Amino acid sequence: MAESTALQDHLNKLVATHGVLFTKLHQHHWFVKGPNFFTLHEKFEELYDEVNEHFDEFAERLLTIGGEPFSTLQEFLDNSSVKEVPYTKDVKQVDMVKSVLEDFGTLAEDLAKGIELAGEAEDDITEDMFIGYKTEVEKHMWMLEAYLG
């Protein structure tokens, strides 16, 4: 495996993105209202649990390959690919799902870039992590799109 600052930087960006995405999914989980409450409340919890697993996995992988993961809320906000959206008014269920779909689209793009960088660095383990997770994210996107009709 060749040392790659670009790969370390990208993993760190994914750490930050997961810190923000974890919080956004909690917001939807807490504030969802309406006829699909039970379905969406449960789905958002499933998604933030999954995001949390990858959040930790990416930070630990970064440490393993010699990097230092972001670990403050400000670092997450400053370096995330997805942006924080403070809850200032009620959000419709459909808009919550669209928001998650958009954020997962951004995440899928980041994972594709990570696959490329890990391949260039000859880091098969990180590349495999990215490929497996991108598969999961794309499946979630397909399901969210099906939910939206």
Distance of alpha carbon 144 from alpha carbon 26, whole angstroms = 17
For residue 8, what pLDDT band results from cuts at 50, 70 and 90? very high
Range(s) of the domain holding residue 38: 5-148
Per-residue pLDDT averaged across 112-125, rounded?
97
pLDDT over threshold 90, residue 94: yes
Distance of alpha carbon 31 from alpha carbon 91, whole angstroms = 8
For residue 2, what pLDDT band results from cuts at 50, 70 and 90? low
pLDDT tens column, 50-81: 999 999 999 999 999 999 999 999 999 999 99
Per-residue pLDDT averaged across 10-15, rounded?
98
Number of domains in the chain: 1
| Per-residue model confidence (pLDDT) at position 88 | 87
Contact 7, 122 (CB under 8 A): no
The dihedral formed by the CA atoms of 53, 59, 61 and 67, expressed in degrees to the nearest 10: 170
Interacting residues of 52 by C-beta distance below 8 A, sequence separation 6+: 18, 22
Here the tokens at position 107 are: 């995440």
CATH at residue 71: 1.20.1260.10
